[in-house]
Amino acid sequence: MTSSGQLNRDIVVRFAPSPNGLLHLGHAYAAMVAHDFARERGGRFLLRIEDIDSARSRPEFVEAILADLKWLGLTWDGDVIFQSDRFESYAAAVERLKDLDMLYRCFCTRTSMRQAQEAGPQPEGPDGPIYAGTCRHLEPVLARERARTEPHSWRLDVAKAIARTGPLDWYDERHGEQIIHAEKLGDVIIVPKNTPVAYHLAVTLDDARDGITHVVRGDDLFASTDIHRLLQALLGLPTPTYFHHPLLLDESGAKLSKSRDSASLSVLRAAGRSGYGLVQEFRAANFPVGISLSAA
């Protein structure tokens, strides 16, 4: 709380999990950091469910997320926000980017991209190997003709976008001033073949719509912020301050993840573990870099 005892509504932070699996210890840590960042500054803490991937999102995972956060003793302000309620705004932003001639159709498949990688390895970005730009120079007429029968995604022409916006920067409260190097990410996908919108555009639009002043998230998304800053500039959106915290790692030094079956909070909750006690351990550790899953 502020000195006056009132909420400082200039500070708005969010936690935004995807309901495509159960939350694990890494999520608990990330939620705690974002929650405490807001509360220590007398601000608001929002909960946004990032459920744009309808094929993988499940109602039972949403219920588990809410139960896990309550078990941890982390409370949010206002109603829970769902990305699935916002598809119209995403579509409008996509059309805006098309009008600016910032997007192009991409017909590459996972197989063709894997073959290209085997022929000559591409530098790694946060989303995997950087896209080689195979479809960037397709003739527009040919691309439109192929699009009638071939599945395709839409990619952001990063070089063209940077040429339009000019130099850009953003600020991280832990890492300091940053100059964008979005070209190191390659031409990221904005509209996937089977999903209405990709993470990069959805999260940028939602943070602006929700009035997020401080994006508090893990270091694994640090490099992606260059793309988000670029999209903010193209779409005339405000730029929040960022705070990328260290990741919670397991005993082997690997990042906790759903795909690796990292210990889920629901299992710990069902086993009688204290969620409040777990959060207190995290707070006492002050940016832990490892945790014994067997002891959890």
Contacts 24+ apart (CB under 8 A), 195-201: 195/52, 195/53, 195/54, 195/55, 196/52, 196/87, 196/90, 196/91, 197/52, 197/87, 197/90, 197/91, 197/94, 199/50, 199/52, 200/156, 200/224, 200/227, 200/228, 200/231, 201/90, 201/93, 201/94, 201/231
Of 160, 184, 255, 258, which residue is the catalytic one?
258
Output DSSP code: residue 17: -
The residue to which tokens 């059309």 are assigned: 95
3-state helix, strand, coil in the chain (%, to 5): 40, 15, 45
What does the DSSP assignment read for 221-261?
GTTTHHHHHHHHHHHT----EEEEEPPPB-TTSPBP-TTTT
- Name the 3-class secondary structure at 166: coil
* Length, in residues, of the chain: 296
For residue 42, the 8-state DSSP code is T
Amino acid at 264: S
Residue for token pair 């192009």: 104
The question of whether 258 is a catalytic residue gets the answer yes
Q: How far is CA 123 from the centre of its chain?
A: 21
Quote the distance between the C-alpha of residue 133 and its chain's center. 23
Give the Cα separation of 93 and 235 in Å (integer): 8
Catalytically active residues are 258
